[in-house]
Structure 1
Amino acid sequence: MARIRTSGFEEQREAILAQAARLFAQRGYPATSMNQVAEACGLSKPTLYHYYKDKYALLVSIAEGHVAKLEGLVSDVAATGLPAEQRLRELIRRFVEEYAHAKDAHRVLTEDVRFLVEEDRERVLEKERRLVDGFAQVLGEMRPEMGTAGLGKPLTMLLFGMINWMFTWLRPDGALDHEAMAPIVADLFLGGVPAVRPPVTSLPDRP
């Protein structure tokens, strides 16, 4: 008979993931051992293996879990029915705020996804492509000619370039926090989009 997993079991799994993400972000995935994860969690190593079979399983769960949360944000904003520009601003706000709360997982996703085997890496990358498509769709509603010219995804990637690496320079104890930066990012991006002119030769709509 399969063992029934209690809410406490899932809470412990999430707590382990948070500690593993912190260690991977600080030390790097290759340099972190299961012994170190167990110590950070206050667990014995056998107990840790009760929740995750190995370090690789932790990496997969961190990467997939983080992208899944971002996918959920895109779906939630799409369901609001807001006008396109307001939806884009809301997407930017929610992504920036999520990064603030999940900076360790985000660093793992951006820096350690290369350690995933091809099948797992492709699954995570496919989820990331859907995120890009969600943003590009909103941009296409705002500026249909951008989609026609194949600029929807490139513009989205430029936007992600502004926010995806914010964790590398935005200090939590600085004068500006993520909440303050979100509308600044939106204003900067949306203020620049109207100035974009499609090139004479259209591009395929892919980064």
Structure 2
Amino acid sequence: MREITRMTDTTSTRADAQRRRVLAASVEIFGRQGYRATSMNEIAAGVGLSKPTLYHYFRNKEELLVRIYSDVLDESLRMARETIDAAATPFDGLRDLLVFRVVYTCENRELLKICFEEEDELGPDLAEELLVRRRAFEDLFTATLEQHLAGHPDLHLAMTPKVFVNMCLGAVNWTYKWYRPSGPRTPAELGREMADALLAVITPESGTGASAPA
């Protein structure tokens, strides 16, 4: 029985590794030529599999796209929770979360390009399911912002927390479009600069409506 279990685990591990290879090839090809212009034949060739073998791992192109979205959303939410939990204060959590998001986006530009530009290729039911998971990330950010504001009643936002969160995420997510690894800043350096700029209006010392120290 132990030997059978070992064999099953090995088979499962190999299958998971093969799926990761297929996903990596799909990200590269989707990113280069777009989801709609890519065929399953091209993905099979890119990973060195026959088409029937590829269908053993993924039934169709849409399943591949959904898996890419799911993996990104799951990892983002997991890392966001860990980042917030490890922070000393809600403000530190907000700053660290923005830095993390910039770093992740800059280091995974091809992946994020697919997530931001191929969403319309998902069917309505699948899109709604993924939207629920994306909202969980945004809700975590919003809840942390509200905790920070509750602890600093002298701070006043010129917009609702939800709008502020969407503004911040829009700014950091867009780095996939313009960040260049050959530029003068590392992703972490850029992340810190962007986080400081975006959160300047809610820092306890210089919040909107608060008096700056003399």
Output the TM-score relative to the length of structure 2: 0.83
CA displacement at 1:104 relative to structure 2? 2.2
Query: Equivalents in 1 of 2:18, 2:112: separation in Å?
Result: 20
Which structure has the larger Rg? 2
The answer to whether structure 1 residue 169 and structure 2 residue 178 are counterparts is yes
Unmatched runs of 5 consecutive residues or more in structure 2: 1-6, 210-214
Select 1:58's aligned residue among 51, 64, 67: 64
Contact 1:136 1:153 in 2 (8 A): yes
CA displacement at 1:97 relative to structure 2? 2.1
What residue is the counterpart of 1:88 in the other structure?
Answer: 94
Structure 1 segments (4+ residues) deviating >3 Å: 144-150, 192-197
Select 2:43's aligned residue among 37, 59, 79: 37
Select 1:189's aligned residue among 198, 201, 204: 198
Unmatched runs of 5 consecutive residues or more in structure 1: 198-207
Structure 2 matches for 1:127-146, cutoff 5 A? 127-144=133-150
CA displacement at 1:149 relative to structure 2? 8.2
Secondary structure at the aligned position of 1:6 is classed as: helix
Root mean square deviation of aligned Cα = 2.2
* Cα distance, 1:157–1:85 mapped onto 2, change above 3 Å: same
CA displacement at 1:188 relative to structure 2? 0.5
What residue is the counterpart of 1:156 in the other structure?
Answer: 165
Query: Equivalents in 1 of 2:132, 2:156: separation in Å?
Result: 20
Query: Equivalents in 1 of 2:109, 2:208: separation in Å?
Result: 31
Higher deviation after alignment, 187-196 or 27-36: 187-196
Query: Equivalents in 2 of 1:128, 1:147: separation in Å?
Result: 27
| Matched residue type, 1:86 | D
What residue is the counterpart of 2:212 in the other structure?
Answer: none
Query: Equivalents in 2 of 1:13, 1:7: separation in Å?
Result: 10
* Cα distance, 1:191–1:83 mapped onto 2, change above 3 Å: same
Post-superposition Cα deviations, 1:112-154, rounded to whole Å, max 9, x if no partner, equal: 1111111110011111111111111111122236899871110
Contact 2:157 2:201 in 1 (8 A): no
Query: Equivalents in 1 of 2:194, 2:164: separation in Å?
Result: 14
Contact 1:34 1:45 in 2 (8 A): yes
Contact 1:170 1:177 in 2 (8 A): no
Post-superposition Cα deviations, 1:56-94, rounded to whole Å, max 9, x if no partner, equal: 110110011111111101221232252011111211122
Post-superposition Cα deviations, 1:6-62, rounded to whole Å, max 9, x if no partner, equal: 212112211211211121122111111111111221222222112111111101100
The answer to whether structure 1 residue 7 and structure 2 residue 16 are counterparts is no
* Cα distance, 1:171–1:36 mapped onto 2, change above 3 Å: same
Query: Equivalents in 2 of 1:158, 1:29: separation in Å?
Result: 28
- Equivalent residues, number: 195
Contact 2:106 2:175 in 1 (8 A): no
% same residue: 27
